[in-house]
């Protein structure tokens, strides 16, 4: 299983990557919006973990771009923005889940697995 991690904080990124690698995931890691756009376009991922506040823009821009081009990769937003309105904005644009930082790595892993299952089901339905 392949995951795209979009996170500019190296402490969080390293912890998430290590935890997911131990869980059997292959993790591609982008630290800014531009490299994340390139990575998302270059390869298919089973799930994306997306930070909203990036050094060169908002993760919401990537979410909008992927939604506009019909990309069905399940995206889990992870952000320190904890207002319900922020969560609803991301979910209305296309995110399948929203994790408020700080979060437990075990909770994140469960949500990633759930998003991957959801993504597989959607791909199977659209392929039929």
| Helix boundaries (H) for 46-102 | 59-68, 84-93
- How confident is the prediction along the chain (128 residues), in pLDDT tens digits per residue? 999 999 999 999 999 999 999 999 999 999 999 999 999 999 999 999 999 999 999 999 999 999 999 999 999 999 999 999 999 999 999 999 999 999 999 999 999 999 999 877 666 666 66
Domain boundaries, the chain: 2-127
Q: Which helix (H) or strand (E) holds 125?
A: helix 105-127
Q: Is the pTM of this model over 0.85?
A: yes
Fold type of domain 2-127: Rossmann fold (3.40.50)
CB-side neighbour CA atoms (13 Å) of 96: 22
DSSP character for 40? H
């Amino acid at each position: 299983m392949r995951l795209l991690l979009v996170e500019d904080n190296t402490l969080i990124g390293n912890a998430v990557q290590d935890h997911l690698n131990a869980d059997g995931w292959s993790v591609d890691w982008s630290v800014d919006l531009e490299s994340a756009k390139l990575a998302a376009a270059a390869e298919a991922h089973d799930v994306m973990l997306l930070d909203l506040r990036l050094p060169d823009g908002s993760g919401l821009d990537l979410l909008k771009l992927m939604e506009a081009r019909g990309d069905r990769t399940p995206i889990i937003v992870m952000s320190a923005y904890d207002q319900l309105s922020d969560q609803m904005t991301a979910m209305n644009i296309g995110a399948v889940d929203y994790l408020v930082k700080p979060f437990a790595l075990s909770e994140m892993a469960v949500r990633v697995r759930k998003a991957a299952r959801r993504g597989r089901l959607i791909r199977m339905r659209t392929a039929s």
